[in-house]
């Protein structure tokens, strides 16, 4: 409650005190903003957008189209002009009627425009409708461009969409009714808190704007996430190896070694008890080892894929074999760790080493012939920029990768959270998945370029072969029993590309499962949730479209189906094993020490 205004509009009483306090806060925040932007860390400019050549080609192609078919281009221009003028006239008529109502036909549904004022208030409705008209005109112009190669056109479409998303009226205070209503209701407190949130995010990332998606103060590793009981039983410069405490009296003889991606932390598979794959696998009677990768700094600049194979995969497999006194392990590779598991399998095949009994791949790409949504970032101008960044810093900083991944879903992972945090002053939610998403890791310079140039750009593993550790590695070398799980709506590792790589492998015993949902939710899909179903088809000779058309749908999680597959390859039962042995003493409790190392911006 505030005191009444008796001075012709001047603030008095509580209003004046609040205004003074807010102005003082704004002054302090302005000083912090100046400081952080003055000392911000810089990155290579090539990482901020495509070079001008792309847009020059687009303009040239558009005008070539205009000369070849001027009537078509003129028709589209006239449609845009007509819609814009008609829209303006309708808005004027609505205002002239004396009623504060928008014209009929509020336009297409869009989550960004959920506030009723976008449809009922003539000002906000006009702004929304004109934005949608402009966006449609740009998209039509893109469709009309025919004198560009398909990869370039896809790239143009991606960056044009980024510009359109950035220019949405919801992203500006003056044209966002939610933010304006909140500012009025809180007497400006929301804007001050929003500025505090913005500057805090800038300070946390040395001037780089990365929107915080989760309240990181709500989580602590080992307390309320990554809590499955286990012990670190091996450590080297590349990884810590965690052996989990058994929960069954007997276990399968063949141990299970899980290799998570090193772009993020392993605990995506152990967020909480209800959805922990780690706990589920232990409950199924497996002696489970999980690799927790180091978060590299500049000292790791010369570390390559060969180091991940030698000091990661091979070291972990040898430790697991020694601790369990077994000659073979079953291996799992998730995302980039699945790609590298393929390299390891080819290497072991050529060496005559049968240490891996079976392999499971989670959302793993081995054939990068179709680069999907990452295609805009795999052209030479971007990769050259990444190479320069790596040469300068010795690593590909986690912040660069985080920005790339989030802009693939910019409205959900950038602009939406930014509006809530910076315009409305809201605290990010206490969401464990988003906390994990923000807990990224750096990549060593050498490894990053091997992956981007050799595997992604040149697609060597699926075509000519990939040279590593004195061997020429190919997909055809992979001949162990394998099971691959891909996700139907995965935008990072599209299922059809994962399927194509599995088809090229030399194994005679292959199982392919496509689960509903995406890169994370499709994998972290415990049976207890009964949320996403999955598809199976035993004929892997079909192309991906025919495979999907002939696939059988199954309700529920794919975990039990895979669990049966794994059980048949896990050996007989024996008394449960405690973590470690005399040669591999317990070093510390899970989740270990490497997982706690944060990526420094």
DSSP secondary structure string for all residues of 196-255: HHHHHHHHHTTT------S-GGG--BTTTBS---EEEEEE-SSEEEEEEPP-SSEEESS-
Residue 506's nearest CA partner among 456, 535, 455, 540 is: 540
pLDDT-based confidence at residue 4 (cuts at 50, 70, 90): very low
**Residue closest to 598 by CA, chosen among 232, 216, 311:** 216
pLDDT for res 410: 80
Q: Are 44 and 124 in contact (CB under 8 A)?
A: no
pLDDT, tens digit, 9 for 90 and up, residues 21-37: 766 777 777 777 777 77
Higher pLDDT, 510 or 408: 510
Ramachandran region, residue 42 (left: φ > 0; alpha: ψ -120 to 50; beta: rest): beta
Q: How much is the average pLDDT of 311-332?
A: 98
pLDDT recorded at residue 150 = 74
For the entire predicted model, the pTM comes to: 0.85
% of the chain with per-residue pLDDT over 70: 84
Out of 135-144, 319-328, 335-344, 485-494, least confident range? 135-144
Which residues are identified as catalytic? Answer: 335
More confident residue, 427 or 121: 427
Q: CA-to-CA distance for 145 and 35, rounded, in angstroms? A: 45
Residue 144 has pLDDT above 60, yes or no: yes
Ranking 93-107, 114-128, 298-312 by mean pLDDT, the lowest is 93-107
Reference 474, options 336, 345, 566; nearest CA is 345
Q: What is the mean pLDDT of the chain?
A: 87
The arithmetic mean of pLDDT across residues 256-277, rounded, is 96
Q: Is the pLDDT of residue 268 over 90?
A: yes
Give the whole-angstrom CA distance, residue 244 versus residue 168.
48
The pLDDT of residue 2 is 38
What is the predicted pLDDT for the residue at 165?
87
Nearest to 534 by CA among 551, 509, 510, 511: 551
Q: Which two tokens stand for residue 51?
A: 């070079």
Greatest alpha-carbon span in the chain: 91
**pLDDT higher than 70, residue 66:** no
Q: Which of 7-11, 518-522, 533-537 has the lowest mean pLDDT?
A: 7-11
pLDDT > 50? residue 515: yes
Model pLDDT for residues 335-384, shown as the tens digit of each residue: 999 999 999 999 999 999 999 999 999 999 999 988 667 777 777 888 88
Residue pair 497/524 in contact by the 8 Å Cβ criterion: no
Cα distance from N-terminal residue to C-terminal residue, the chain: 44
Inform me whether the pLDDT recorded for 203 exceeds 90.
no
Q: Tell me: pLDDT of 479 over 70.
A: yes
Q: What's residue 245's pLDDT? A: 98
Degrees, nearest 5: CA angle 165-168-170: 125
Residue 537 pLDDT class (50, 70, 90 cuts): very high
pLDDT at 77 over 70: no
Provide the token pair at 183. Answer: 């500012």
């Amino acid at each position: 409650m505030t005191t009444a205004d008796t001075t012709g509009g001047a603030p008095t009483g509580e209003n004046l005190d609040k205004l003074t306090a807010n102005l003082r806060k704004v002054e302090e925040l302005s000083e912090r903003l100046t400081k952080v932007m003055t000392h911000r860390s810089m990155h290579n400019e090539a990482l901020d957008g495509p070079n001008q050549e792309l847009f020059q080609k687009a303009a040239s192609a558009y005008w070539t189209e205009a000369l070849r078919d001027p009537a078509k281009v003129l028709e589209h221009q006239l449609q845009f002009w007509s819609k814009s003028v008609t829209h303006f006239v309708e808005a004027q008529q609505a205002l002239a009627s004396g009623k504060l109502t928008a014209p009929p036909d509020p336009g297409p549904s869009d989550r960004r425009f959920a506030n009723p004022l976008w449809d009922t208030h003539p000002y906000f409705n006009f702004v929304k409708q004109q934005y949608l008209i402009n966006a449609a005109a740009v998209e039509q112009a893109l469709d009309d461009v025919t004198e560009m190669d398909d990869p370039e056109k896809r790239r143009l479409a991606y960056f044009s969409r980024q510009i359109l998303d950035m220019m949405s009226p919801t992203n500006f205070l003056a044209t966002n009714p939610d933010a304006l209503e909140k500012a009025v209701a809180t007497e400006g407190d929301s804007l001050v808190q929003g500025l505090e949130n913005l500057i805090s995010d800038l300070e946390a990332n040395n001037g780089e704007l990365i929107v915080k998606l989760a309240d990181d103060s709500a989580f602590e590793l080992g307390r309320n996430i990554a809590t499955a009981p286990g012990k670190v039983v091996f450590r080297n410069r590349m990884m810590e190896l965690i052996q989990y405490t058994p929960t069954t009296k007997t276990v399968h003889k063949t141990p299970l070694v899980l290799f998570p991606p090193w772009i993020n932390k392993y605990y995506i598979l152990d967020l909480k008890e209800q959805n922990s794959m780690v706990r589920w696998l232990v409950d199924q009677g497996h002696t489970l080892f999980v690799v927790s990768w180091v978060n590299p700094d500049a000292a790791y600049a010369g570390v390559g894929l060969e180091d991940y194979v030698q000091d990661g995969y091979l070291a972990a497999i040898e430790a697991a074999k020694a601790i369990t006194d077994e000659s073979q392990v079953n291996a799992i590779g998730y995302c980039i760790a699945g790609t590298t598991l393929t390299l390891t399998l080819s290497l072991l095949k050529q060496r005559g080493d049968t240490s891996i009994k079976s392999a499971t791949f989670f959302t793993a790409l081995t054939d990068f012939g179709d680069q999907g949504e990452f295609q805009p970032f795999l052209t030479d101008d971007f990769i050259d920029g990444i190479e320069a960044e790596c040469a300068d810093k010795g690593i590909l900083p986690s912040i660069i990768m985080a920005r790339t991944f989030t802009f693939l879903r910019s409205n959900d992972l950038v602009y939406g959270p930014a509006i809530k945090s910076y315009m409305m002053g809201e605290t990010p939610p206490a969401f464990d998945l988003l906390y994990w998403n923000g807990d990224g890791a750096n990549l060593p310079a050498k490894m990053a370029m091997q992956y981007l140039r050799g595997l992604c750009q040149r697609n060597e593993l699926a075509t000519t072969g990939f040279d590593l550790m004195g061997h020429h590695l190919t997909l055809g070398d992979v001949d162990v029993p394998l099971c691959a799980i891909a996700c139907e709506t995965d935008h990072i590792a599209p299922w059809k590309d994962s399927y194509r790589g599995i088809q090229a492998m030399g194994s005679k015993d292959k199982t392919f499962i496509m689960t509903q949902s995406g890169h994370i939710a499709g994998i972290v899909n415990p049976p207890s949730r009964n949320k996403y179903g999955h598809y199976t088809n035993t004929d892997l000779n079909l192309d991906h479209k025919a495979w999907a058309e002939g696939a059988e749908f199954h309700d529920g999680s794919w975990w039990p189906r895979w669990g049966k597959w794994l059980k048949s390859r896990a050996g007989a039962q024996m008394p449960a094993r405690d973590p470690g042995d005399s040669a591999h003493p317990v070093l510390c409790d899970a989740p270990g020490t490497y997982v706690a190392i944060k990526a420094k911006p």
